[in-house]
């Protein structure tokens, strides 16, 4: 079985986040989620992708501190 992961280097510590798949790399603008969604600790914002879909942006600093 093959596992796909994103490797994160935070302060010299390595972390791996497993993902279903990697789609590619894009330049995006991260938007604030507003007061209704700001309590979601592991999400730092959101963006609208080129195809119109909404994507949430993970807060890597928060996840690395878990």
pLDDT digits (tens, 9 = 90+) for 39-63: 898 999 999 998 999 999 999 888 8
CA dihedral over 60, 5, 30, 11, signed as positive or negative = positive
In a domain, 52, yes or no: yes
In a domain, 39, yes or no: yes
Domain that holds residue 45: 24-66
- Residue among 8, 9, 26, 29 nearest 17 (CA): 8
Averaged confidence pLDDT in the chain: 89
pLDDT at position 35, please?
86
Query: What confidence score (pLDDT) does residue 11 get?
Result: 85
Beta strand 4-10 with 13-19: parallel, antiparallel or unpaired? antiparallel
pLDDT digits (tens, 9 = 90+) for 9-47: 888 889 899 999 888 888 999 999 888 888 898 999 999
Please check whether residue 17 lies inside any domain of the structure: no
Phi (first) and psi of residue 63, to 5 degrees: -60, -40
Q: What pLDDT sits at residue 28?
A: 92
E strand map for 1-66: 4-10, 13-19, 43-48, 54-58
Instruction: Give the number of domains in the chain.
Output: 1
Q: Is residue 32 part of a domain?
A: yes
Domain harbouring 35, CATH code: 2.30.30.40
């Amino acid at each position: 079985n093959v596992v796909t992961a994103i490797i994160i280097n935070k302060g010299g510590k390595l972390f791996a986040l497993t993902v279903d798949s990697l789609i590619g790399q894009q330049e995006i603008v991260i938007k604030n989620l507003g007061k209704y969604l700001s309590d979601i600790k592991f999400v730092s914002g959101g963006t609208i992708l080129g195809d119109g879909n909404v994507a949430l942006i993970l807060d890597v600093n928060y996840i690395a501190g878990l």
